[in-house]
Amino acid sequence: MTKNDKIIVTGASGYYGYAVIESLLKNGVNRSLIYAMVRDYTKIEKLKSLNVNIVFGDYNNYSSMLVAFSGIDKLLFVSSNELENRIEQHIQVVQAAEASGIKYILYTSQMHKDVNFSPIDFILSSHLATENAIKRSKMNYTILRNGLYMDILPSFLGQHIYKYGIYLPAGNGKIGFALRSEMAETAANVLLSKKHTNKTYNVSGNSYSFSEIAEYISEMTGKNITYLSPSLDAFINTMINHGMSKKYIKMIGGFAAASRQGEFESDGLQMEKLLGRKPLPVKQYLEEFFILNFLSSVV
């Protein structure tokens, strides 16, 4: 990165994008060189406190991105959360970036491994299409294949873990969880370095199985936490019968089933190198999260 490179961060009003901007500022980037792209001006109050440039841009609006990207050197392209038309959105972002003269793009993709069929293919297909579009462009790039946010681990474990245990179609598969804030810090470090041009990295912590997680929580709380791993279909049907939304359960179940195939297993070394330290391990997160929640549930 040259001293005067202008950086734009998409999805800046979301947690990840906001955290990347915070990390850039902590690394000494001048506020005048940072551009926060948002699509909803009603969600910028928190961003205003950072005193960076706030611009409008919508993945569904090509011309808005041409304006937002004008004069920008580096783009952090945070993937869309709209699965239905995400491929079309993402292709437009890449095309607008190239047309605007952006020199470098950093894209937040999804960690995966080559398998015959992935239970999260409905998510992966758009990421792979985006990666290919970026590689076909004339821009330099880095692709960060992010693992699962440790912050959503409670969603996998469920609200009634002390009563019913852990119920997920993950088998003995392991997942490399990492804190969203540390993933954002990793992205900022990559943006500020010249060492990662045209490279792809897995960004995730060391891996744990849900049977190991059940053991950790049992040790910490003194409760006997069981782990039962059904088939994906049985999991989806059971949870829908308990009143949970099909879309939500399909997402949780798909990620769990993909982990059964080893799609999220990682040693965490690539993230450690990019972050500059070991990412927070799951056991420490569980100690902090579950002890607090366990104590509050018995007070």
* pLDDT tens digits along 239-272: 999 888 988 899 999 999 999 999 999 999 999 9
What is the sign of the dihedral through the CA atoms of 50, 43, 69 and 276?
Answer: positive
Nearest to 256 by CA among 160, 161, 176, 173: 173
Return the bridge partners of 125, or none: none
Residue 296 pLDDT grade (very low, low, confident, very high; cuts 50, 70, 90): low
Question: ∠ CA(60), CA(17), CA(199), 5° rounding?
Answer: 90
pTM over 0.85: yes
Provide the pLDDT confidence category of residue 217 given band limits of 50, 70 and 90.
Answer: very high
Radius of gyration of the chain measured on its C-alpha atoms:
20
Residue 299 has what pLDDT? 40
User: Both tokens of residue 130?
Assistant: 């985006």
With a CB cutoff of 8 Å and minimum separation 6, the contacts of 76 are: 7, 8, 9, 10, 17, 20, 106, 108, 187, 191
Q: What is the pLDDT of residue 116?
A: 80
- pLDDT, tens digit, for every residue of 11-38? 999 999 999 999 999 999 999 999 999 9
The pLDDT assigned to 114 comes to 80
| pLDDT value for 91 | 98
Two tokens, residue 117: 């069929």
Provide the pLDDT for residue 295: 54
Asked whether the beta carbons of 167 and 158 are under 8 A apart, the reply is yes
